[in-house]
């Protein structure tokens, strides 16, 4: 049976308000009485009702982080964000959407209902007008909840944003290909269309850097094809990642895309893989088929997390560190929490180029 403030008051023969003030640290309660109440509460196994406190005060120190998943780079971002928020005295709730609108809506609704004080989110929405009336994100704006969008801004929204500049990343990698004399560059995408803004901007950056120097094309993983004996369906490569040791599906789809290029005699001078685990699958398949890296074909990544450190060959990348992204996101959110009427702004993070032996 749950121990209540009333139970403590009856045991000590004092009024409930005195117990409440003693436990909350408020009121003009004598130090000896406050200590007695706290000691008695501990002995009786009393647990404070956090929900009631949030309702009575209308606020909490709860911060929500809503992300598609916690695989690879996202996992690093969430881990750094969690630690920074904890250091700032905040409680953190991490919710995963798995790229579905329904789960994103549920996650934001949960945070609103629990009186969260702020939200960091990688939303599936790109524009404010796409968000339906009554959606929890619109309710967050009406209630002036401080929100930071990670990766890309929700255009037209009142939310802040920490932007990962994929256009700049594409240009950086493209300039490296120009320096090394590449003529045919292919961007490999581990899922079927439609493609999100990160893919479009990365492709645009590669194209801009390659004008007059190289041609750019794309290839994507076909979810209707058989991958290593398993029939795939839309988003199944993502499902396999969750069920088969996380990285196996990415390696398989990368290997499948590389085998397709080899069978069609479409091996380019350079490949950019959208995700690191796909890149490792491409690398493994290329080596198995005697394709020299980087002599015959260069490899590069727009991400850089721990997985690239496991490559037998240091991989060239242009990326924003997830620690830097988390620092910028948390700093912006804490600033918005202090000044709730401050105008929304976007901070664009510059990527860093790492030149490895793969180019």
Q: What is the pLDDT of residue 163?
A: 97
Name the pairing type of β-strands 91-96 and 346-349: unpaired
Q: What is the pLDDT of residue 233?
A: 46
CATH 2.40.400.10 fits 57-164+323-354, yes or no: no
The CATH 3.40.50.2300 portion of the chain extends over 57-164+323-354, 166-319
Q: What is the mean pLDDT of the chain?
A: 87
336-352 b/e (C-beta count within 10 Å ≥ 16 → b): bbeeeeeebeeeebebe
Give the pLDDT confidence of 112-169 residue by residue, as tens digits.
999 999 999 999 999 999 999 999 999 999 999 999 999 999 999 999 999 999 999 9
- Please report, rounded to a whole number, the percentage of residues in the chain having pLDDT higher than 90: 59
Greater confidence (277 vs 267) lies with 267
**Stretch 165-176: mean pLDDT:** 98
Q: The CATH number of 5-48 is which of 1.10.260.40, 1.10.760.10, 3.20.20.80, 3.40.50.2000?
A: 1.10.260.40
pTM attached to this predicted model: 0.80
The CATH 1.10.260.40 portion of the chain extends over 5-48
User: Length of the chain in residues, anyone?
Assistant: 359
pLDDT tops 70 at residue 244: no
Give the pLDDT confidence of 73-95 residue by residue, as tens digits.
899 999 999 999 999 999 999 99
Q: Which CATH architecture has domain 166-319?
A: 3-Layer(aba) Sandwich (3.40)
């Amino acid at each position: 049976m749950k121990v209540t403030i009333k139970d403590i008051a009856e045991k000590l023969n004092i009024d409930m308000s005195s117990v409440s003030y003693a436990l909350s640290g408020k009121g003009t309660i004598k130090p000896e009485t406050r200590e007695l109440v706290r000691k008695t509460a501990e002995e009786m196994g009393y647990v404070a009702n956090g929900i009631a406190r949030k309702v009575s005060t209308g606020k909490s120190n709860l911060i929500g982080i809503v992300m598609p998943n916690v695989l690879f780079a996202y996992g690093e971002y969430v881990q750094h964000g969690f630690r920074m928020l904890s250091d700032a005295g905040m409680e953190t709730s991490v919710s995963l959407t798995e790229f579905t609108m329904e789960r994103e809506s549920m996650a934001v609704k949960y945070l609103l209902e629990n009186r969260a004080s702020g939200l960091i989110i990688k939303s599936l929405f790109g524009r404010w007008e796409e968000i339906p009336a009554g959606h929890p994100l619109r309710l967050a704006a009406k209630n002036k909840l401080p929100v930071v969008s990670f990766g890309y801004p929700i255009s037209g929204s009142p939310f802040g944003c920490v932007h990962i500049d994929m256009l700049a990343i594409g240009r950086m990698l493209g300039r490296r290909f120009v320096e090394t004399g590449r003529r045919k560059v292919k961007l490999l995408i581990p899922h079927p269309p439609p493609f999100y803004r990160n893919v479009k901007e990365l492709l645009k950056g590669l194209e801009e850097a390659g004008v007059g120097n190289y041609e750019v094309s794309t290839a994507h993983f076909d979810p209707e094809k058989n991958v290593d004996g398993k029939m795939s369906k839309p988003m199944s490569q993502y499902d396999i990642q969750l069920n088969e040791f996380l990285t196996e599906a990415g390696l398989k789809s990368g290997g499948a895309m590389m085998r397709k290029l080899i069978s069609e005699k479409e091996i380019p001078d350079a490949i950019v893989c959208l995700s690191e685990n796909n890149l490792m699958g491409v690398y493994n398949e290329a080596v198995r088929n005697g394709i020299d890296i980087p002599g015959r074909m260069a490899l590069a990544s727009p991400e850089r997390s721990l997985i690239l450190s496991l490559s037998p060959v240091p991989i060239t990348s242009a990326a924003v560190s997830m620690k830097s992204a988390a620092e910028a996101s948390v700093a912006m959110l804490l600033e918005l929490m202090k000044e709730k009427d401050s105008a929304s702004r976007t901070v664009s993070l510059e990527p860093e180029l790492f030149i490895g032996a793969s180019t």
